[in-house]
A and B are shown apart, each in its own frame.
Chain A
Amino acid sequence: MNTAIIKNNTCIPVANIPVMEYEVFAEVVTHLLADKNNHCVAYYGYRLDAENLKFICAIAKDNRGDIVMLSYELDTTQTTRIDSICPGSLTLQMYEREIAENFGIEFFGHPWAKPVRYAWNRADKDKVLQNYPFYRIDGNQLHEVGVGPIHAGVIEPGHFRFLCHGEEVLHLEIQLGYQHRGVENLYLTKKSLLQRTVLSESIAGDTVSGHALAFCGVTESLAGFEPDEQLSLLRGLSLELERIAVHVGDLSAFCTDVAYQLGAAVFGALRTPMINYGQLWCGNRFNKGLIRPGYNPWAYTIELRDKLNSVLDDFEMKYREMADEMFSLDTVQSRYEKTGDVTREQMEMIGAVGMAARITGIPRDIRASHPFGSYKTLKYIPELQQGGDVWARGMLRHDEILSSIKYVRDLLDKLDLSSEVVRAVQPRVHKLEFKPNMFSISLTEGWRGEICHSAITDENGEIIHYKVKDPSFHNWLALALAVRNQEISDFPICNKSYDLSYCGFDL
């Protein structure tokens, strides 16, 4: 088979990615995705010129740490209609919908050919938020419930349309796009490295470290810069602290949604010292400004390390006693168990990533399968749950909080506080020279799951295409499946237990 294989956080000349006939491409992709150890991490198109499109596809081999690269080209004056690969592997359904929306390509045989995010530069401007083709069932015993875009709480906007029989949800359709800011296009129009870094930190403001790290992975490999071990450790520290902070904050919401006031207050309070630590380290509670390509801007001192040790000790004691109490309450257990459950087969079918996959026993975790940064030197073993319900989602967060605390402690042991990188005395990097005609890809594991950034450069080393994929790109469908045949009143706890990103999806 004529393919190119690369590793995470590396680049490859675009010319070295084999260009196939579409029929061959479809066959190879279907064959690769038939193996459950493989999953697609990127599949998108970009314009070569006014008529011709090029499509790049990256399929990760999770048991080998490889990424298989494939491509095909399409002359749109010849055809804009091609066969969908979804009948062979449904995991591609969002990718094909995105390509259809951006370029007006029709995928024949796609089971759910609907708009994705109503991008400002979409091909068909007649498709607007107001005429989204919702799935309907007619019958005088059914009713529809529409929620959003603006929700009751202080959260991001999105529209949920429930098809119900009495209290039972038969079908939930999630319509997104309200948050679309044109992020991928801004990577091309805002050209300074700092602008693009700040942009990466703002893709999803709750996943600052996750997206900033993916941006570093893409740009550093394009520039031929190899981050040293100490720099990777600091970045890993930021990523794991972000994970702990979000998980504990979300456990507060887990409690709110089952009216358990003590847990809601205590977990909410426990989030504060974790994010205040970021404020102490770099002056921002969300670690905005902490991760920069090419160098470390903020000194990590003995005082900061000692402070983190004491914060973690206090946090762990208070967290454990609260979690032990909450997860042993029968009122909490009865609300979580068998609520909003999904199966492993469903998650494999839709290509769920991150937590949404791991709650059904799928060991999908980039930290282990395609290690990056600190995870190369300090191994991480993914936590898994089996039940696929709200309980599994709560327990996975619980286990991940504890394993992240352990990881952070191991990481602190490896930090060399005397190194130049850690002391932040190296010169700041304001510009990186990118290699020309390259494709670069970076996968990181944010707290929600797998984040993928990739870029393509032209003959002058300018970025001509930048692609962002948040785990929510796949996982919103998991939420829709979770609430099937559930009571509509369980929607809030199902939604919050996933806590997916609207802006990460809408871009």
Chain B
Amino acid sequence: MFETFKILDHQGKQFIPVLDNAKTPSVFRGRAEISDAPCPEGCTACVDLCPTDAIQLNPLRLDHGFCVNCNECAASCPADKFKFTNDHKFATNVRERLIVYEGKSTPIRIDQSQIRKEIQSVFGRSFKLRQVSAAGDNSTEMELNAGDNVNFDMSRYGIEWVASPRHADAIVISGPISQNMAEALEIAYQATPDPKVVILAGVDAISGGIFAGSPALDRSFLDRHKVDLYIPGNPIHPLTLVLGLLELTGRLKRND
């Protein structure tokens, strides 16, 4: 018993009191910014190097739906135009908002006007999530779990993982969605009672990531069902997840 108290004392308070104030170190690779410094004549280094075609020209832009945050564009651009900032608050409900444009450094936010009305009225105080890993590589899955560990502790807000889709309000998908998981994913979705929410966690889920174009995938689920929240990252950061969920359910309102 004495040992237990000693351990508790050494552990102290582990939870982050106000998640919105938590900071990631400056080297953390979160939301990208592209400066308006002029490109060298004819240079396409960033586009050529990008492993997932996340960077496009005219205008120069980077799509976090494709970006695996490898940092190669930032490290290799001769004009030093790219920077991965430590801003981890970049979950959004509008797919186009994941695209970062040259010369604009506005944060990526949830568009409150585009959230379905029932999400905040029904799930505002209790939000149960059924996770489906559809060929996820287990890094995003571990970070999803971390969302409810003693540090991030999302269950304090009534946001919890549940074992059955029948108990769930939302399906949280990770991974690029393999052919072999397509049927199970659809069944889990159908088993979730209405109203229900679809959340994509991680770049693999949003676009296929490095697996995009593989003939072993079947992403037709996303043609049939609307996505309510995109959580970018490779893997996602637990703060991106929890803050995104709080914003989606109306618990966290931002003015910027």
Q: Interface of A with B (CB < 8 Å)?
A: 118-121, 129, 149-150, 152-157, 177-182, 185-186, 189-190, 192, 194-195, 197-199, 202-206, 208, 249, 262, 265-266, 268-269, 271-272, 279-286, 288-289, 297, 317-318, 321-322, 324-325, 428, 430, 501-503, 506
Give the number of A-B contacts (CB < 8 Å). Answer: 197
Alpha-carbon separation in the docked complex, A204 to B137 (Å): 5
Residues of B within 8 A of A182 (CB): 211, 214-217
- In the bound complex, residues from chain B placing their C-beta under 8 Å from that of A129 are 180
| Min C-beta distance of B12 to chain A, whole Å | 10
Q: Is the CB of B71 within 8 A of A156?
A: no
B245 in the interface (beta carbon within 8 A): no
Cβ of B178 under 8 Å from chain A: yes
User: Is B230 an interface position by the 8 A CB rule?
Assistant: no
Q: CB distance B29 to A321 under 8 Å?
A: no
Interface residues of B, count at CB 8 A: 66
| Between-chain CB contacts (< 8 Å), 30 pairs | A152-B164, A154-B131, A155-B138, A157-B132, A178-B178, A179-B136, A186-B211, A192-B51, A198-B52, A202-B210, A204-B137, A262-B4, A262-B7, A265-B14, A269-B11, A269-B149, A272-B149, A279-B24, A282-B27, A283-B27, A283-B28, A285-B143, A288-B68, A288-B234, A288-B235, A317-B10, A318-B11, A321-B7, A325-B3, A503-B135
What's the Cα separation between A180 and B24 when bound, in Å?
33
Indicate if the CB atoms of B69 and A289 lie closer than 8 Å.
Answer: yes
Q: How far is the CA of A202 from the CA of B52 in the complex (A)?
A: 13
Nearest Cβ on chain A to B169's Cβ, whole angstroms:
16
Q: Assess whether B213 is interfacial by the CB under 8 Å rule.
A: yes
Closest 7 CB pairs of A and B: A205-B139, A205-B137, A182-B216, A152-B163, A283-B29, A120-B216, A195-B51
- Report whether B237 and A285 are in contact in the complex, using a CB–CB cutoff of 8 Å: yes
Q: Select the residue from B24, B76, B136, B146 with max chain A CB neighbours within 10 A.
A: B136
Contact of A194 with B142 in the complex, beta carbons under 8 Å: no
Contact between chains at A157 and B28 (CB < 8 Å): no
B residues less than 8 Å from A321 (CB atoms): 3, 6-7, 10
CA A280 – CA B23 in complex, angstroms? 12
CA distance A252 to B239 in the complex (A): 21
Task: Give the residue among B71, B84, B204 with the most A Cβ atoms within 10 A.
Answer: B71
Which residues of B (178-221) have their CB < 8 Å from a CB of A? 178-181, 184, 188, 204, 209-211, 213-217
Cα distance A459–B184 in the bound complex, in angstroms: 43
When the two chains form their complex, are residues B144 and A154 in contact, meaning their CB atoms are under 8 A apart? yes
